[in-house]
Amino acid sequence: MIFRKVLILIPAYNEEANIATTIANIKKFTKGKGWDILVVDDGSKDKTYLKAKKCEVIVVRHPFNMGYGVAIQTGYKFAIDGGYDILVQIDADGQHDPKYIPKMINTLRREKLDVVIGSRFRKKTDYHAPFMRRLGMILFSLIVSAVTRRKVTDSTSGYQVIDKKVLNFLSSDSFPCDYPDADLLIMLYFAGFKVDEIPMKMYENKTGKSMHGSLIKNFYYVMKMSLSILTIVLRKVTGLPSF
Amino acid sequence: MFLLMLILNLVRKRKLRENYSLLWIFISLVLILIVLLYPWLVKFSNLFLANPTSMIMFCGMVALLLLILQLCLMNSVQATQIKNLVQKITLLEEKVKNVSKKK
C-alpha cells in the first residue's frame, strides 16, 4: 500500500475540559501510523491552547475567535501547505469516536470517494438531539437528498474524511464559513465531487455546548442555511459557477 | 451645505477615504440642488401626487438605504479579507515557530 500523509484536524474553541481526552483517544488509533494531529484553537478564552500544546500535537491559534468554519478552513490551508493526502476532521468535544477513522479512510480509498461523512442517522443509534435541532437536521438532510439525488441522512455532521483534491476547493473564498454543512454538500455535488456517508455512533456533548445554542441562533441557522442553499441552486440554474 | 463641508473636512483630515466619501458628496450636492431648484421639486412631487416635503423624505430614505447597502458590500469584502489575513497569520506563526526551533 502506498504511504499516504494523513492529517487529523481538530477545530477547538473553549474546549479545555475535553481537548486532552479527545487527543489521547485519537492517538490510540493513530499510534505508529505517522499521522499528524493539528489543533486549530479558534481564539479560545480558556486554556485550550496550552492543554493541546502539552499533548505534543501541532497547535495553531487564531488571534481572535473567527467561528467554526474559519477554523476548519485554516486546517484545510495547513493541509495544503503540508502536502497532506487525506484530512480527517473531528470535533474537539468528544462527540466523535476516533475508532471510525481507519474505517472512514478505507472507505474513501476503496470506493474512490472524495469525502466520507460519519452519519449518526444512517443506522438506528441511541443518539438523541433536542427536538428542534433534530427537526432541522431532518429538514436539511431531505433538501440535500432531493438536490443531490443521493440519500443524505446527516447533513450537519462535522466528522469527515476529505481527499486532498477537495482541499483546494474548500480553501476558496466561496467556502461557506458561517455553517459549512448542508450547503457545502450541495456545493460539493455541483462541483462534481463524490460524497458518501458511513453509519457510526456519536456521543452526546456532555457540556451541552453547541454552535446552534440559543433559539435565536437556531433561527439564524435555519434562515442562513435556507438562503445559502437557495443561492447555490440559483447560481447553478442561472449558469453561474456555484463556487 | 453643512453636510458637504463636513464631508470635505473629514476627507481633508484623512478621516474619511475619498472613495467612500463620493456617495456622501453626491447626496449633499443633490440636497443643495433641491434647495436651489425648489420649483422643480414641486413639479416633480406633483407628478407622484405627493407634497415636496414627503418627496424629500422619500428620496432621503432611498439615499440612506443605498448608503447602508454600500457599507454592507464593503463589510462583506472586508470580512473575507480579515478571514484570509487571520488564517495567513495563524499559519505563518506556526512556520516561524518551526524555523526558530530548527535554528
A128-159 pLDDT tens trace: 777 777 788 888 999 999 999 888 898 889 99
Q: Residue A130: its pLDDT value, please?
A: 73
Q: Residue A78 in contact with residue A38, Cβ under 8 Å?
A: yes
> Of the candidates A200, A204, A194, A207, which has an alpha carbon nearest to the alpha carbon of residue A159?
A200
Which positions in chain A touch B87 (Cβ < 8 Å)? 62, 70, 73-74, 77
Report residue B103's pLDDT band, with 50, 70 and 90 as the boundaries.
Answer: confident
Whether residue A211 has pLDDT greater than 60:
no
Nearest CA among A53, A62, A66, A45 for reference residue A178: A66
User: Mind listing the pLDDT tens digit for each residue in B11-70?
Assistant: 888 888 887 788 888 888 888 888 888 888 888 888 888 888 888 888 888 888 988 998
Nearest-CA neighbor of A229 among A125, A155, A123? A155
- Residues facing A8 on adjacent strands: A37, A88
CB neighbours of residue B19 within 10 Å = 8
Sequence letter at residue A37: I
In the sheet where A36-41 sits, what is the strand order?
A58-61, A36-41, A6-12, A86-89, A160-163, A115-119, A195-199
- B10 pLDDT band, cuts 50/70/90, is confident
Residue-level pLDDT at A88: 96
Q: Inter-axis angle of helices A182-190 and A215-237, to 10 degrees? A: 10
Q: A152-194 pLDDT, tens per residue?
A: 898 889 999 999 999 999 999 889 988 888 999 999 999 999 9
Q: Which of B83, B92, B97, B98 should be substituted to probe chain A, the one whose Cβ sees the most A Cβ atoms within 10 Å?
A: B83
Contacts of A62 in chain B (CB under 8 A): 86-87, 90
Task: Supply A44's cell numbers.
Answer: 479560545
Do residues B66 and B23 lie in contact, with contact meaning Cβ atoms separated by under 8 Å?
A: yes
Residues of B whose CB is below 8 A from A65: none
ipTM of this complex prediction, to 2 decimal places: 0.78
- Chain B residues in contact with A11 by the CB 8 A cut-off are none
Give the global pTM: 0.84
**Interface residue ranges in chain A relative to chain B, Cβ cutoff 8 Å:** 40, 58, 60-64, 66, 70, 73-74, 77-78, 81, 173, 177
Please indicate whether residue B98 or residue A40 has the higher confidence score (pLDDT).
A40
* Predicted local confidence at residue B45, as pLDDT: 87
Q: For residue A1, is pLDDT > 60?
A: no
Is B91 in contact with A77 (Cβ distance < 8 A)? yes
**C-alpha distances in Å from residue A103, one per residue of A27, A99, A123, A159, A235:** 16, 8, 16, 13, 35
Mean pLDDT over A100-124 rounds to 91
Q: What is the DSSP letter of A96?
A: B
CB contact under 8 A, A62 and B91: no
Under the banding of pLDDT at 50, 70 and 90, the label for residue A12 is: very high
Q: In angstroms, rounded to a whole number, what is the distance separating the alpha carbons of residues B7 and B20?
A: 10
Question: How many Cβ atoms from other residues are within 10 Å of residue A232's Cβ?
Answer: 23
